[in-house]
Amino acid sequence: MNRKLLHFTADWCRPCQMMEPVIKLFLEENPDVEYQKVDVDTEFDIAREYDVMSVPTFVGLINGEVSNRVLGAVPKARIEELYTHPVEPHFDSGMIKETDAMGREMFWKDAGRP
């Protein structure tokens, strides 16, 4: 089983900075997890691909498929749950699905991105 952790962050984000020691400890305890830190200000295409709208956001991948995501500064146990409790995203609703594409487009335009 191939596990990967995507950590969406930004230099200006205080909660993101607070998560650095938590992520370091998680990775020390889980050396098989591949880690990728993604700065949303410079790698916005990746952030857009994973529908990241706030930071910090953590996306767990198992064999290349999203298993779960966690938003915000959280304890290490919540990061571990990315791989032990795969679930559908809690924000998956019919109303959001209808407006999701338009909302993402407006978000990125407001952020000054194409």
Residue 18 lies in a domain: yes
Does 67 map to a domain? yes
Q: Quick check: is 13 catalytic?
A: yes
Domain count, the chain: 1
Q: Is residue 78 part of a domain?
A: yes
- Residue 71 resides in a domain: yes
State the CB neighbour count (10 A cutoff) for residue 28.
8
Q: Is 114 inside a domain boundary?
A: no
Q: What is the pLDDT of residue 41?
A: 93
What pLDDT was estimated at residue 113? Answer: 56
Asked if residue 30 is part of any domain, the answer here is yes
Please tell me the pTM assigned to this model. 0.73
pLDDT tens for the chain, 114 residues long, are 899 999 999 999 999 999 999 999 999 999 999 999 999 999 989 999 999 999 999 999 999 999 999 999 999 999 999 988 655 544 443 444 444 555 555 555 555 555
Check if 16 is active-site: yes
Note down the domain range covering 31. Answer: 3-88
CATH number of the domain residue 13 falls in? 3.40.30.10
Residue 95: its pLDDT value, please?
42
Identified catalytic residue from 5, 6, 13, 59: 13
